Structure 1
Amino acid sequence: MSPVQSPRPALAHRLRALRETQWPEAGITQAQLAQALGGARPLSISLISSWENTDKPVAPPNRRLEAYATLFATRRSLDGAALRVLPVDQLTDEERARRDELLQELMWLREGGGFVPPGSATDIWTFDADQNITIVCARLPEKYRAHLSYADPDSADFVSLYTYADPDALIELFGHIRSRNPENNVKFCTSDELAADDYTSHLVLLGGVDFNSVTRTVIERVKLPVQQVPRKADAEHGGFLVEENGDSKLFEPKLDSREHLLEDVAHFYRDESPFNRKRTVTVCNGMYGRGTLGAVRALTDVRFRDRNTAYVRERFGDLESFSIISRVPVVGGQGLTPDWTLEENRLHEWPEAAG
């Protein structure tokens, strides 16, 4: 596991990340933040810079952290002519809950919490600087890409991403991990392109055992009471089989009589890597693509990632290994982000609650 960083650099890193990556398209500057936090008496840009300086950080007073939490609790802070901090009594119930979670996190960092190692972190996708991260997808089987000229290397129109399974999950996760780890080398490849040294980096595996051979290899090497039952051509849709205390249960996707997907099943699994105990392996998997995307978005979707991360931290504590199987409802053909704080969305959790 990675060493815990000292608290104030961790807080400085988080404050900068809020400004730069919470709403990256807004391009919030230190000057805009100084104006918003100061209100009628704008703060100096140098003060904001000192709070974000990880080399020689200055911890903001509690009332400024309260303002940070209020501002970044709602996208409505961007409405109007200038960035602004809304009055707390104008926040919706959801925004107030988000504010409380964020304020708790910032105060925790200020008082010495630091970064917890990946697996139970403030942000589970934040890794120590200079550690390589490799996202591994399956290559889409030939029968599914044979008719696509864009997937043919001999075609002038060839685009390599058309040969990837789960490209929507890949795009979602690659962008998020890059934004959280700007100093790290983050790469993605298909399972057949994985180099020897990639195995000993932080591994993030997208997709299941039927297509992704690396997922299959990892699952065979770890102690996890969850197995994926692959889909079959004879209308068997497979599922995730859990075996505990002599009992077994299969969690299956739901389809209607016309084979339209109504609900997928997502599996998120984090553990110490079997190839390098100082690195992690993470599996984001589903029985169909919308399940895999749901497993990813549970911890990247801005509307749900903080509450789901807080749930993981509360539920599993500082455990290195944990697994969550959840529902992914499909509405209008779109998979919805699972909210792990709702009991009905969590189908299975492993291991038992920490402590």
Structure 2
Amino acid sequence: MLPPEYLRSIPYTDPNAPDYVDLYKFADLDALFELFGHVRAANPLNNVRVRTPNEVTTDDYTSHLVVLGGVDWNRTTAVLLHRLELPVRQLPRPDEGEAGGFVVGEGEDQKLFAPVLEKVGGNEALVEDVAHFFRAPSPFNEQRTITICNGMYGRGTYGAVRALTDVRFRARNEKYLRERFAGKDTFSILSRVKVFLGVAVTPDWSSSEDLLHEWSDT
């Protein structure tokens, strides 16, 4: 969900405005739009509900749950990553213009995977983001799953979603998951998301150039 200071700067986010648009309250709209269409098409007989963290109900938590967005604006992501005790930690972006990143390992073995920004026309442009995809049995209902798609920026989150929705890459990435994590129900992948002229390129998990880190439970 977008913070209040961002919402105030966007037209039509006031419920009293004649042209009020409810979806403007969501962050990562590209990822949300992409994922909703894919999940809805794959589950035509089920109700797919979209909620902000403030709107989630008990029924939502105990269903199959997909969480979008990083720890900066999604408290649900932050709490779940901590509760699930993953070996992957997402650092928030401390100040405007600072990239943050994902950390794996402990102590001297820590490794940081950070986005890449470059100066373009006097502004910082994102040329490479980091995407995190995580899947596990739900901690709220073991007969359901929890999936987290997050990035340091919106295009990282979008890349995490597109890895399994893009018609050119999803079969390849699904095959990689089946072979790499056979018999595992809890796993995590960090991947590079290239950004070319402002457009996020879908990551190929079978490519060593795109795959940054992977982990599964024992």
Which residue in the other structure is 2:34 paired with?
172
Instruction: State the distance in 1 between where 2:205 and 2:107 align.
Output: 24
1:207 touches 1:215 (CA, 8 Å); kept in 2? yes
RMSD: 1.5
1:293 and 2:158 equivalent? Answer: yes
Distance in 2, Cα, partners of 1:229 & 1:245: 16
Asked if the contact 2:184–2:216 (Cα under 8 Å) also holds between the matched residues in 1, the reply is: no
From the two aligned structures, give the one with the greater helix fraction: 1
Report the Cα offset of residue 245 of structure 1: 8.4
Of residues 24, 27, 48, the one that matches 1:162 is 24
Question: Is contact 1:329–1:335 with CA below 8 Å preserved after alignment?
Answer: yes
TM-score by length of 2: 0.94
* Residues 309-338 of structure 1: CA deviation (Å, up to 9, x unaligned): 000000010201000000000001011000
**Equivalent in the alignment of 1:149:** 11
Partner of 1:186: 48
Deviation, structure 1 residue 141: 0.8
Residue of structure 2 in register with 1:271 after alignment: 136
Paired residues of 1:218 and 1:274 also in contact (CA < 8 A) = no
Q: 1:347 aligns with which of 193, 200, 212?
A: 212
1:251 to 89, 109, 113: 113
Could you say which residue in structure 2 is the equivalent of 1:23? none
For 1:351, give the aligned amino acid.
S
2: distance between equivalents of 1:234 and 1:175?
32
Distance 2:35 2:3 in 1: 22
Distance of 1:259 and 1:302 partners within structure 2: 31
SS at match of 2:24: helix
Aligned partners of 2:11, 2:200: CA distance in 1, in Å? 28
Which sections of structure 2, spanning at least 5 residues, go unmatched?
A: none
- Post-superposition shift, 1:345? 0.6
The answer to whether the 8 A contact 2:13-2:21 is kept is yes
Alpha-carbon distance in structure 1 between the residues aligned to 2:27 and 2:96 = 22
Aligned to 1:333: 198
Q: Per-residue deviation at 1:225? A: 0.1
Higher gyration radius (CA): 1
